[in-house]
Amino acid sequence: GRQIVTLEGKEYSKPDEAYLDSAARQRSAKELMLDLHLQRAAVQGDADRVAELIQAGASTATTRLPGTPHGEFRRTPLHIAAWECRQEAVAALLDARADVNA
């Protein structure tokens, strides 16, 4: 069956693989939810949350996640933060060694 994970009090299932990039297909439901929250923190410019999620295991390389404003464009969290002009989030992602060429 589908992987179910509880994160921050909400249950999530792993999205259908058709919606995921090749790297994301290899990740667990929990890891994907961390990635999803990282992308949302990048949009919001929440540098502290960005650092916290990366420390918890979120990937700075996941690009295609359903339910994110930038998911269809295959942007990494770094690209998202830059697109949204979120300088503090960009700095946090660069500190975490996010690939600028991904």
pLDDT digits (tens, 9 = 90+) for 41-92: 999 999 999 999 999 999 998 886 666 666 667 789 999 999 999 999 999 9
Residue pair 64/71 in contact by the 8 Å Cβ criterion = yes
- Helices 87-95 and 47-56 cross at an angle (nearest 10°) of 30
Amino acid at 36: L
Residue 16 gets which letter from DSSP?
A: P
* pLDDT value at 12 more than 80: no
Q: What per-residue confidence (pLDDT) applies to 100?
A: 94
Least trusted range by pLDDT, from 4-18, 25-39, 51-65: 4-18
pLDDT at 29: 77
Under 8 Å between Cβ of 90 and 76: no
